[in-house]
Amino acid sequence: MKLTPPYLLSLVLAPALLAQGGPMPPPPLLWIVREEVKPGHGSAHDKTEAAWTQALIKGKSTDHYLGMMAMTGPGEAWFLFGYRTFADWEAKQGEMEKNPALKAEVDRISAQDGEHISTARSFLAAHRKDLSYGPDVEIGKMRFMRIRIFRIKQGQIGVFEEAVKVAKSAYEKSQVNLPFAFYEVQAGMGQPTFLSIRPMKSLADMDTLGMSDKAMNDALGEEGRKAMQKASIEAFGFVENQIFAFNPKLSFPPPFVVASDPAFWAPKPPSRGAAKPAN
């Protein structure tokens, strides 16, 4: 996979800079783990995930991730891991094998976690900058994420990609200020499958998105709208649309995410307060 200059820059940033917040490009490689949480097990699942995070901190793991819960659809927890390359992914996977104490603790917690989930699966996706729109975002300040999963009919990838580029051009013309990143699934799902990932500071962004539809349609023009409709009929096999809320209890965020909003990502435990004087 070819890394574009912003990604190359991120590889050579000093650790001090990586501990600062600010906009960052989407990771070139995204590994997503999906867990379907049993009804009524949400709080218990949060506790096992928090224990998992503490084990990773104690074991000095560098394999960070962001966790979020589905607000729509099945009661799923999604965990997002970002990597630079497949080699980077392999190195992070091997990190735990070199730390027997951490592996033993994670295995123990994993067994407990299994009591609270029905199913789990994972998939790997590569960033498609040519299909993505808008500037880099400061992910640590985001609170929600809309993810659309596109399953494309065999032999219709070119039609789909062209439709996305037409829509992207319309977004640019209408100046919609809601960036999104496209990813193409490499393994773990039936292919061809694409994901559109749109981070949001607030659910009010969904209102903005709805109000921008007319501006986008105007920018498409009649020919553009016809082309989009034709592409959706020819290329789309299935489209799934879900909204998620980031959850710090499910997360092991990297330093630059924590730096963006420490109060959200690394909240301090509540103070017990001063003891009452005896009567």
CATH topology of domain 26-262: Alpha-Beta Plaits (3.30.70)
pLDDT at residue 275 greater than cutoff 80:
no
> Quick check: 176 and 216 in contact, CB under 8 A?
yes
Question: Side chain identity at 221, as an amino acid letter?
Answer: G
Q: Which residues of 252-265 are buried (b: 16+ CB within 10 A; e: fewer)?
A: bbbbbbbbbbeebb
CA distance 53 to 57: 6
Q: Mean per-residue pLDDT for 95-117?
A: 89
pLDDT of residue 124: 96
- pLDDT (tens digit per residue) in 73-88: 989 999 999 999 999 9
| First CA to last CA distance, the chain | 71
pLDDT tier at 13 (50, 70, 90 boundaries)?
A: very low
CA distance 124 to 179: 21
Where do the domains of the chain lie?
26-262
Nearest Cα neighbor of 200 from 243, 162, 231, 165 is 243
CA distance 78 to 121: 10
- pLDDT (tens digit per residue) in 238-273: 899 999 999 999 999 999 999 999 999 988 766 555
Nearest Cα neighbor of 66 from 150, 137, 151, 116 is 137
pLDDT of residue 210: 73
121/176: higher pLDDT = 121
Nearest Cα neighbor of 160 from 234, 216, 222 is 234
pTM of the model: 0.86
